[in-house]
Amino acid sequence: MKFFVDTADINDIKDLAATGLLDGVTTNPSLVAKSGRNFVELIKEICTVVDGPVSAEVASVDYETMLEEGKYLATLAPNVAVKVPLTEAGLKVCKYLSGKGTMVNVTLCFSSAQALLAAKAGATFVSPFVGRLDDIGQDGMGLIEEICHMYQAQPDLKTQVLVASVRHPRHVVDAAKMGAHVATCPPAIIRQLFGHPLTDKGLAQFVADWAKTGQKILK
Ligand code: G3P
């Protein structure tokens, strides 16, 4: 499974890219607003840091303007994935851009029917929002499971399931077990994946015991 980071913070992106474990980046208008950065300059910079797909979201909701925005965003770097909302207009844009060879991430997916349409529109990625479904008492991971099964039953559909709105490491592990292709996580969740209290405790013990030996591995 691929790991994307869901942020517009360039320092977090650089830091996580340095681990060698980062496969891509997703941004959205809320994250860009939080960053205070110029959107186009930011996307160009992210695309120099990360080789994998970098999602850049259109801002308009009508077909014509969305299409022009999408075409423009696609010129910023070869690894831009144009992000469009899961609306009729968004899927029309998706169909057009994917037909031209542009990567498209269809976002704000909350149902399997929507995911089926995104795949038929040629989306590279579909982004079901698990946390926001959980927030309203629905089953976010249940949706991921159904979409994964649905795509597996229809091998002609090539869209990758990109699990978004991730709230905790369990979402990531469960998504991997279900066969989801990608999880996009806030930086804090990716860092949480590394940790376990017993790892910290065990390491502290090893460090203390090693000191008792008085030895050094490197001269
Ligand atoms: O970027 C899309 C999605 O991951 C947003 O998540 O945390 O705002 O629900 P969240």
pLDDT of 138-159, one tens digit each?
999 999 999 999 999 999 999 9
Residue 46 forms part of a structural domain: yes
Confidence grade of residue 186 (pLDDT, cut at 50, 70, 90)? very high
Residue spans of alpha helices (H) in the chain: 10-17, 29-35, 39-49, 63-74, 88-99, 112-120, 130-135, 140-153, 169-178, 187-194, 197-213
Query: The CATH number of the domain where 83 resides is what?
Result: 3.20.20.70
- Ligand 1 atom, smallest distance to 167 CA: 7
Q: Give the pLDDT score at 104.
A: 98
- Hey, which of 54, 129, 171 would you mutate to test ligand 1's pocket, going by the most ligand atoms within 8 Å of its Cβ? 129
Residue in 32, 84, 132 to alter for ligand 1 test, most ligand atoms within 8 A of Cβ: 132
Do the domain assignments include residue 215? no
Q: 191 in a domain, yes or no?
A: yes
216 part of a folded domain: no
Residue 136 lies in a domain: yes
Does the residue 7 lie in any domain?
yes
| Residue 169 Cβ contacting ligand 1 at under 6 Å | no
89-134 pLDDT, tens digit each: 999 999 999 999 999 999 999 999 999 999 999 999 999 999 999 9
Q: What is the pLDDT of residues 32-75, one digit of tens each?
A: 999 999 999 999 999 999 999 999 999 999 999 999 999 999 99
- 100 belongs to the catalytic site: no
Are the CB atoms for 181 and 159 separated by under 8 Å? no
The residue among 193, 83, 63, 96 whose CA lies nearest residue 127 is: 83
- Is residue 219 in a domain? no
Q: What is the domain count for the chain?
A: 1
Q: Whose CA is nearest to atom 4 of ligand 1?
A: 165
Mean of pLDDT values over 172-200: 97
Residue 23 counted as domain residue: yes
Rounded Cα distance between 203 and 180, Å, is 32
Number of the ligand 1 atom closest to the C-alpha atom of 135: 9
What is the band of 172 on the pLDDT scale with cuts at 50, 70, 90? very high
CA dihedral 40, 43, 45, 47 (to 10 degrees): -140
Tell me which residue range forms the domain holding 61: 2-210
